[in-house]
Amino acid sequence: MKSRRVLSVALLYGSCLCLAALLSSCGSSDDPSKQESGDRADSMSKEFTLPPPKPPFENWPDPALVICVTGETHGYLEPCGCSETQSGGISRRADLFRQIEERGWPRASLDLGGSLRRNRLQSKIKFELMLDALKEMDYSGMGLGREELRLDPYNYYLLTLDTEDQLPLWGANVSIAGFDEYPKRHGKIDVDGKTVGVVAVIGNSLRAEAIPSANAGDGEPPPVDVLDPIEAIKQQLAELGVEKPDEKPDLLILLSHAGLEESRALAKAFPQFDVVISAGGPEDPNGKPEEVGPDKTMLVTVGHKGKHVGVIGYYPDQEPKLRFELIELDNTRFQDTPAMQDIMRRYQERLDEEQVADNMKRVQHETGANYVGAEVCGECHKKAYGKWEHTKHHLAYESLSKGRKGQEDGWISRIHDPECLCCHVTGWNPQDVFPYETGFVNEATTPHLAGQQCENCHGPGSIHAELEQKRVAGDIKPQDEQLLNWRKELHLNQEIAEKQLCNKCHDLDNSPNFDFQKYWKEIAHPGRD
């Protein structure tokens, strides 16, 4: 068994141990990880003193209209990690739109797609609430990306609804279960007397990822197909009346859910588009648009995880007639908004009502051992247990229910959210977000596994504990081979913790300024007892 055990569970939960030591709470909240370690925040601010961000749209004259574009949110309804300093979230996005409306600028908002990260029940609930949020923010529509098309086929009704309350979903080259009318093939939007035409396609470069593989090879046609984007674009441009002066939209936009190279090729092939919004760019783009072809089609990306909003200003009587600014949704210029906070509350309530965390499929740990809880460990390892009791890891679960100091009022509990539980309880995989057998279920069933405990780093301890009890009772000798092997298996050193464990929860999303050497000192507990 050797380091395999340490590696897997340690991998899993050493990360978590490091996590709470540095954050009093780090749930996936809109900003749950205000770094309560004040000295750390102070030292970081002294080392890196950044100028305050500039006001958005500095020196912009009033445009005829603005187009706000988001995409590849990958399930990040809130800032992209637990740290309060992280950017993004639908709540801050709504505040940007509020600021635009206060300027009196006519606005249309589009989403490129790529709204999910996984394909499970939580993803379906999240997608439904995301559509509600976009509708609430007055989006004109969303292009379908590969993530949306990988929904379970039983949930494809979400992609084919056509009601007044449903956000329009576009996919010029997407076929779902043989429907010809769904999704919508293009959008034609009126913005204060100006017409904006929108075509959305999935490129050939992402086609294989977009078509669910579950039905591949079973003789049945797939419920989803992605057709040739070139032919689809030609057809939709014709239907938008691009060649007819009295029908042609004032502004034409292509939502290209494709790699940058393919999006660039589409921009060259179809110079009729004024703007091409591409997937496949970096998580944090530089914000500089690219000019493609002799007509200088504007090609832009808007990043991942909902951290940015791309804003296009339209000036029909000026040259150039387009301006672009990539707005980072930081926590200094943008605030939470009540309507989006209500969406987040409804999201957490749905997770509770449908018992998503409780009913997730559980996986047996590779060692075959069960989780027993820190109190069992503390029967022998008294000093280590005493140390743990005074770390923030001990309070990791509590932070999900109450928030950090100063956050209590209005806090939205995350105790039913698998994506939060995985780094705040014992017996879950924090990166792939699934529970192990005998791991934490809920507070009523497994209260002894709440918080970040010993077994998150050292591994489930049932076999080790049983063998040690037998040794004390005299049933096995102190030199018993299995006994000694399990001691080695659960032993954890600093090098493994630093390179393979703590970063599973203290990743760039959740702890962008994590300092292992500093915080290791706060949780280190050398010696057997």
Delimit the domains of the chain by residue range. 2-30+370-523, 62-335
Cα 113 to the chain's mean position, in Å? 13
DSSP letter at 184 equals B
Burial class (CB in 10 A: 0-12, 13-18, 19+), 177: middle
Quote the tokens at residue 446: 């497994």
DSSP per residue over 375-433, as a string? HHHHTT-HHHHHHHHTSGGGGHHHHHHH-STT--TT----TT-HHHHTTTBSSEETTTT
Interstrand relation of 290-292 and 275-278 (parallel, antiparallel or unpaired)? unpaired
Burial class (CB in 10 A: 0-12, 13-18, 19+), 245: exposed
pLDDT of residue 219: 54
Q: CATH top-level class for 62-335?
A: alpha beta
pLDDT of residue 50: 65
Q: Residue 70: what residue type?
A: T
Residue in 382, 128, 112, 409 with CA at minimum distance from that of residue 256: 112
User: Considering all CA atoms of the chain, what is the largest pairwise distance in Å, rounded to the nearest integer?
Assistant: 94
Segments of the chain scoring below 50 in pLDDT: 1-48, 214-217
**Cα 74 to Cα 71: distance, rounded to the nearest angstrom:** 8
Q: Are 430 and 457 in contact (CB under 8 A)?
A: no
Report the SS3 class of residue 279.
coil
Residue 521 vs residues 18, 147, 514, 517, 524: alpha-carbon distances, Å: 10, 41, 13, 7, 5
pLDDT of residue 218: 53
Q: What angle do CA 331, 61, 50 make, to 5 degrees?
A: 30
**Cα 28 to Cα 414: distance, rounded to the nearest angstrom:** 7
Residue 134's CB is within 10 A of a number of other CB atoms, namely 24
Residue 265's CB is within 10 A of a number of other CB atoms, namely 18
Quote the tokens at residue 306: 């909902």
pLDDT of residue 159: 76
Residue in 259, 276, 255 with CA at minimum distance from that of residue 267: 276
The upper half-sphere exposure of residue 301, i.e. CA atoms within 13 Å in the direction of its Cβ, equals 22
**Cα 54 to Cα 115: distance, rounded to the nearest angstrom:** 28
Quote the tokens at residue 434: 């699934």
